[in-house]
Structure 1
Amino acid sequence: MGQNELQTGLGQRGEVISVQLHSVISKAQLNVRTVRSYQLVHEAYRYVTIKAHLPGGAHIGALRTKIALVHVTMRGVEWSCTATSTGSIYQLSFGKLHTRDDGMKIARVGFWYLRCTLRRRQGAATGLKSQRSSVFVRIETSDGAVGWGETFGYRVLEQHWRDAAEILVGASCLESNRLVDRIAAFDMPLAGGVDIALWDLKGKIAGLPICALLGGAYRTAQPAYGALLNASEAEDIVGAVIAETEDAVARGHIAVKLRVGYHDVATDIAWVNALMDAIPAPTVFPIDANRSMDLATARRFIRSLNHPERVAWFEEPLPRSNMRAYRELRNSIDVPVSGGESVPADLLDDLIARRELEIINPDVAGHGGLERVGRFWRIADANGVKTIPHCFDGELARVATLHLLASRPDWTERQTAFPTAPLECDLAENPIRDDLLDVPLEPGKDGTIAVPTGPGLGVTINDTVLRKYAVAQL
């Protein structure tokens, strides 16, 4: 198009606007039959339904801009338009009219490895941490739209960053599944971070939150639970964990995940019982053993609790080398058994099919993104297995998980600790998390966290965090 600009009207959301198109340049009988796809962009990201009345043999189809994509058919005629609505005339430009591939192409990709030192060591059965870390992904299109993602900082290979950038730059962000699959072939967690960034980018281009792109939100706020890293070098084990749990409850959490397995099983049984006596119902406790127990120890631990009915689920008690024992454990205790956060995708499929677990805990970052975790969710549903995604490290990954959870219906069972899959909220010390978002994720009085309604992830990143904590970048 020669003029390369479309002027139209912007009314209230959902308002119907009548548009009359007028020929700017007419050329006789060019018979151009090519159908081109264009992108309609406006910074306000609202959408309207447009009824078009077209002269001269041209027509515009699919002019419902809910996802900010408009398909325009032109037959040798260039058009501009103005819009009227209820007597008021609007002359607001939606910006350049691009071909779909032009405006959606990835121009730049950046990676940052962030790390911070903790005031005291904290952890789980796997050991105590003195640092927290994360990897951030930034993807920018040729139009200047930006998407952010995040993944684990446990393993950082800069060559993988360069390989991922080579795959992404020049490609269309609308080909996200294909791009993520290529990166997943050599680095699954990195693919998860890239996937989150691409969803954020597509949501911003469309002017819609990620949960809307996933089919729409079932709720405006999602149930959540706090997660501790309560293993420590504290002399008073009971006093320390009670203080952390009381703080979590005071912040609005009605469920708090505990870590066992760092101490011997008798010590764990004693402090968990003391905690449950100190923190009354209705607070419930997911308990995570981080693969530290054998079958007999896991049974002994649960059977020795004074209030096993307050255990929301028992997470990863057994090692990956003994996955078939999970069914034996399920059949011998009256507590839901969960796992899967550290299990490769092909093995997780097998665990679901055999129903070794009552709950699976795939990770949006660790298992390659929203599309892959959504696939696990559908398979689990078909096999009568619940999905509660793992999401401990990474606030952007948590926001992406929040959108996924909001797009899923409530469970059909009502006699459960939660009405639907809850969001895991890391409560352990983490300055990177605390400084990242302009508006942090915090539960309300009912223990739920509001689902962001802005485009993409729907959050604003404080990018000074990148400069403050970055130890490597590309």
Structure 2
Amino acid sequence: MRITGARVFVGGPGKNYVTLKIETDVGVHGLGDATLNNRETLPAAYLRDYVVPNLVGMDPRRSEDIWQFLYRGAYFRRGPVAMAAFGAVDMALWDIKGKLAGMPVCDLLGGRSREGAMVYGHAAGADLEDLMDSVASHVERGYRAVRVQCAVPGMAGYAVPEARGGAGDFITDFGGIRSKVEAWDTGRYMRFMPGALAEIRARFGPELHILHDVHHRLLPREAAEFARAVEPVGLFWLEDPTPAEDQDALRIIRQHSTVPLAIGEVFNSIWDCNRLIEREQIDFIRVAATYAGGITHVRRIVDLAALHHVRTGFHGAPSHSPICMAAHAHLDVWAPNFGIQEWLVLGTPACDALFPTEHRVEDGMLRVSDAPGLGVEFDEREAARYEYRPGSHPVVRLGDGTLWNY
């Protein structure tokens, strides 16, 4: 059995999804996701120019050897562009093997540890009452866990609508490559957000799991103070309180607070997070199957985390296509140390048309289908409706113009 070719597609509804389709001489194909948000053309070119020519003629069943070939053979290793490309290949190979075996990928991993996986959605508001309405909407739809983000008076905040009742992707701007500028004021945030989180808890009671993302905006001492201030809220987790590059900052937070910490969505390998996990400085690891090199490599991270009481919380923002989210779904129901799954992409009519699937979310739980492989297909006729659109993330500056952490 041999790989005969592979094609790369860029485009999608509201996102520039990078989809890899690997084809074989037995007529079985596999799908992978290489979407690198706002840098999508880079992993697409890496795949077309360097990876695919090497794949042709290889045995797709030898996914471990192919992963090692891609990673060790590159010499200059890691980084989001290369790992997104490798992740797409690895997902596609697992998809092929599942189809050959007539089994879902979770069965190839060792079978299900649970019948469903708890997911969380994003609630956001232009002010606190607007956020309360968004949280209530999620609760009414059956969510048991909600990430909450709110505009701070005098400052927009992070990932919030500009006006009450706003909806959609608050981050990516498809107006062009040049980034818009957002303002940040740590003092305003520190004075406002603990009280806002307390009001959300008071309104919705103790059963709702509340998550909050600081998005790398605080310095270590500030993050420790903030974590201690929000302890009474009983957060499910506090995400990315400090920049991920300074992992020792989490020690300072740990010394001052017992709030569960979640980090890792910008990590690309086990070598980015093995010390954090071994030192038990975090409670949830947030890597994604795309950016962290696919199922083969993420499985190693999950196994290491299980040894140190760290649970999974895979990144699942619109940065990932339904193919990556299907890979997460199979890891979620298998992983003995599963925590929660961010889930924002499947279920829209446009996505379902491009990526048909039977995976579904019901009552806040992800139900993984028994379809062979990843359980997601790709409609090339539907894909022809889309093309690449340049887009960008905003950048953040302080009041005096200093560039700050995004």
The verdict on a shared fold, with TM-score over 0.5 as the criterion, is yes
Cα distance between partner residues in 2 of 1:431 and 1:298 = 40
In structure 1, give the amino acid aligned to 2:262.
S
**Equivalent residue runs for 1:405-424 within 5 Å:** 405-409=332-336, 420-424=338-342
**Any idea what SS the aligned residue of 2:383 has?**
helix
Q: Which consecutive unaligned segments of at least 5 residues does structure 2 have? A: 151-156, 159-183, 390-406
Cα distance between partner residues in 2 of 1:138 and 1:304 = 48
Cα distance between partner residues in 2 of 1:275 and 1:238 = 9
Specify the alignment match of 1:398 in structure 2: 325
With over 3 angstroms needed to count, the CA separation of the structure-2 counterparts of 1:344 and 1:175, relative to structure 1, is same
**Any idea what SS the aligned residue of 1:379 has?**
helix
With over 3 angstroms needed to count, the CA separation of the structure-2 counterparts of 1:212 and 1:284, relative to structure 1, is same
**Which is strand-richer, 1 or 2?**
1
**Farther-moved stretch of structure 1 (300-309 vs 241-250):** 300-309
Q: Which consecutive unaligned segments of at least 5 residues does structure 1 have? A: 1-103, 118-131, 412-419
Cα distance between partner residues in 2 of 1:165 and 1:267 = 50
Cα distance between partner residues in 1 of 2:231 and 2:283 = 22
Q: 2:105 aligns with which of 191, 207, 210?
A: 210
Q: 1:255 aligns with which of 129, 132, 145?
A: 145
Are 1:138 and 2:25 counterparts?
Answer: no
Q: 1:337 aligns with which of 253, 258, 261?
A: 261
Specify the alignment match of 2:54 in structure 1: 167
2:268–2:293 contact (8 Å) kept in structure 1: no
- Structure with bigger RCO (C-alpha 8 Å, 6+ apart): 2
In structure 2, give the amino acid aligned to 1:396.
I
**Farther-moved stretch of structure 1 (432-441 vs 271-280):** 432-441
How big is each residue's C-alpha offset from its partner over 1:22-53, in whole Å with a ceiling of 9 and x where there is no partner? xxxxxxxxxxxxxxxxxxxxxxxxxxxxxxxx
In structure 1, give the amino acid aligned to 2:11.
L
With over 3 angstroms needed to count, the CA separation of the structure-2 counterparts of 1:307 and 1:461, relative to structure 1, is farther
Q: 1:189 aligns with which of 58, 80, 84?
A: 84
Q: 2:118 aligns with which of 223, 228, 231?
A: 223
Q: 2:129 aligns with which of 231, 239, 258?
A: 239
**Equivalent residue runs for 1:38-187 within 5 Å:** 104-117=1-14, 132-154=15-37, 155=39, 156-157=41-42, 158-162=44-48, 163-184=50-71, 185=74, 187=82
- Report the TM-score when normalising by structure 1: 0.66
How big is each residue's C-alpha offset from its partner over 1:369-414, in whole Å with a ceiling of 9 and x where there is no partner? 11111111112222333333223232211111111121122x5xxx
Are 1:388 and 2:317 counterparts?
Answer: no
Cα distance between partner residues in 2 of 1:463 and 1:141 = 17
Q: Displacement, 1:462?
A: 4.0
Cα distance between partner residues in 1 of 2:221 and 2:352 = 40
How big is each residue's C-alpha offset from its partner over 1:295-342, in whole Å with a ceiling of 9 and x where there is no partner? 232233333348421x10111111123210102202311211121221
- Percent of aligned pairs sharing the same letter: 26
Specify the alignment match of 1:449 in structure 2: 366
1:114–1:471 contact (8 Å) kept in structure 2: yes
In structure 2, give the amino acid aligned to 1:268.
M
Specify the alignment match of 2:227 in structure 1: 302
Q: Displacement, 1:348?
A: 1.1
**Farther-moved stretch of structure 1 (108-117 vs 360-369):** 108-117
Q: Displacement, 1:243?
A: 2.7
Cα distance between partner residues in 1 of 2:326 and 2:209 = 23
With over 3 angstroms needed to count, the CA separation of the structure-2 counterparts of 1:440 and 1:203, relative to structure 1, is closer
With over 3 angstroms needed to count, the CA separation of the structure-2 counterparts of 1:439 and 1:428, relative to structure 1, is closer
In structure 1, give the amino acid aligned to 2:45.
Q
With over 3 angstroms needed to count, the CA separation of the structure-2 counterparts of 1:407 and 1:169, relative to structure 1, is same
1:181–1:191 contact (8 Å) kept in structure 2: no
Larger radius of gyration, structure 1 or 2? Answer: 1
In structure 2, give the amino acid aligned to 1:193.
A
Cα distance between partner residues in 1 of 2:303 and 2:382 = 36
Q: Displacement, 1:354?
A: 2.5
**Any idea what SS the aligned residue of 2:388 has?**
strand
1:237–1:271 contact (8 Å) kept in structure 2: no
In structure 2, give the amino acid aligned to 1:370.
I
How big is each residue's C-alpha offset from its partner over 1:159-209, in whole Å with a ceiling of 9 and x where there is no partner? 312211112111110121222333344600111111111111111111110
With over 3 angstroms needed to count, the CA separation of the structure-2 counterparts of 1:159 and 1:224, relative to structure 1, is closer
In structure 2, give the amino acid aligned to 1:111.
V
Question: Root-mean-square deviation (CA), in Å?
Answer: 2.6
With over 3 angstroms needed to count, the CA separation of the structure-2 counterparts of 1:282 and 1:436, relative to structure 1, is farther
With over 3 angstroms needed to count, the CA separation of the structure-2 counterparts of 1:273 and 1:308, relative to structure 1, is closer
